[in-house]
Amino acid sequence: MAKLDTQLLELGLRDLIYALILMADLLVIVYMVFFERRHPSYVIPWVLIIVFLPVLGFILYMAFGFNYFKEKQFRLKSDEDRDLLHRFLEQQGQIIDRGGREEGAATALPRVLLRGGSSPVLMAGRVRAFNDGTEKFAALFEAIERAEDHIHMEYYILRDDRLGRELVDLLARKAEEGVEVRLLLDGTGNHVPKKGFERFDRAGGRMAIFFKPLVPFLTLRFNYHDHRKIAVIDGRTGFVGGFNIGIEYLGEGPMGDWRDYAAEMDGEAVKALQARFVLDWNYATGEGLGIGDARYFPPVDGTGSVPVQVVSSGPDSHRTPIKDEYLKLLGMARRYVYIQTPYFIPDESIMDALRIASLSGVDVRIMFPDRPDHPLVYWASLSFVGQLLPWGVRAFTFDDGFVHAKTAFVDDAISSIGSANWDIRSFRLNFETNGVIYDSGTTRRNRELFERDLERCTEVTLEKYRARRLTVRAMEGIARLFAPVL
C-alpha cells in the first residue's frame, strides 16, 4: 500500500510539473502574440518549437528569444544619438548636396542612412581595405604604437592566445607611457582572465563589459551582443570591419586560411567611429564622455576626398539601418553586387531584393564558407542560397579556409565593410557597425580581390544543388525551421 501511495505521489508530482510547464509555455505564447507584437515570421517558428518541444522549447526561448532588453536601458544612447545627428547635420547637408551632383543616383543611399540611421556622410582623406589578418593587425598595432593621447577599442571577441596577449601587453605599455586607453568588450566574447589584465589595470588602462549580466557567470541571454569591431587612435585613425582579436584571424586556427575584411580610415570619417565608441562606452560605464569634446574629436586638416558613412544598428532601436543599407544597395545596383558573409540567413525582404536584382540583369554573387563553424547555421544558409539559384543568383563556397568577411561591393562605386552578417541576428538582435565607402578606386580593388578569391571557390550550381543527398535536404529542413532564431 505504501508503495502504491509513493507511485501515486510521484505520478501526481510529474503531472503537476508537466501542467506548470504547459502553463509557462502558454504564457510565453500569449506574451509573444499580444505583448511583443513581433513579425509573424519570428513568432510562428517559436510557437511551433514550444508546442512540439514543450520543455526544450521553453528553455530555448528563454535563452534565444526572450527580450531581456528594455528600452529605458538605452535612453542615454538614444538621446546622444540625436545629439550627434544635430552636431553633424549642417555639414552633412552640404556633403549630400555636393554628392547628389557628383555621384548621381548614388546620393539615394546616403539620404536613406542619414534619415533612417542618423549616419552623416563624413570625408576621409585615405581609406585602406584589408582582407588579410596579418596585414590588418600589422596596421592596427602600428597605429597603436604611434598613439600619443588615447586609444579606444571595441571588440566582440578577445582571445586568450598569442595575439590577444600581445595586444593587451601593448595597450598596457601605452597606458604606462601616459596614453589614455579604453577597451570595451562583449560579456561573452572576452576570453582573457582577470589575471591577464593585471599590468593593464596597474598602468591605468580601463576595460569595461558591454551589457554586463546582473549575476556574473549566470545568464540565459544569448542575444544582444556587442558584435562591433572598432578601434580609434587619437581621434585621427580609425578601423572598422569583421576581424576579432585571435590567432584564427591570422589563419592559424583549426579553420585554416581566414578570409575577413576591415577598413582603415582617417579624416573627418573617424569622428563617426569615435562617436559610436563614446556612445557605447558611456552606456557601459556611465562615464559621460562628451560627443564633440575636442580631445576625442580633434580638428582635421583638409577636407578629404572619400565620402564615408558609419552605419550602426542594434536592438536599442526599432529601426534597422544596416538592413536598409543592404536593401538599398541591392536596389541601386546596375552591374554587379558581390557579397561575402559567413552566415546567410536573410529575411523575406532581402530575399526578394536579391531575386529582383538578379532578374534585372545585375550580376549577384554570394561567397560563403565551405567549412561551417556552426553546422545548423551552415545548413540554413545553404537552404536560402538554393532558393535563389533558380533566379540567376550565383553562389560560391570558399574551399581554402573560412570566410568571415561581411562585405558588399557594388558597381565599382560603393563598398560596405563591417561587422554585420547577412542574417536576421545582425539585422535585429546584435549591435553592429558597418563602414560604407563611396569610392571607385577602393571598390574596384575590392572587386578584384573578390574575383581572385573566386579561384579558390566552388560554384554551387542549380544542378549540383538539386542533386544533393536526402540527408542534406533533411538537415536543411530542420535548420530552416530555426532560421529566425539562429
Rounded distance, CA 187 to CA 193, Å? 12
By the 8 A CB rule, do 109 and 327 touch? no
Rounded distance, CA 359 to CA 354, Å? 9
By the 8 A CB rule, do 325 and 311 touch? yes
What is residue 335's DSSP assignment? S
Maximum Cα–Cα distance across the chain:
93
Q: List residues with catalytic annotation.
A: 227, 229, 234, 404, 406, 411
Which of 245, 259, 188 lies closest to 219, judged by CA? 188
Rounded distance, CA 303 to CA 202, Å? 40
What is residue 482's DSSP assignment? T
Cell numbers found for residue 49: 518549437
3 state SS for 128-154 = EEECCHHHHHHHHHHHHHHCCCEEEEE
366: number of Cβ within 10 Å:
23
Residue type, 100: G
Cell numbers found for residue 471: 540527408
27: number of Cβ within 10 Å:
11
Residue type, 4: L
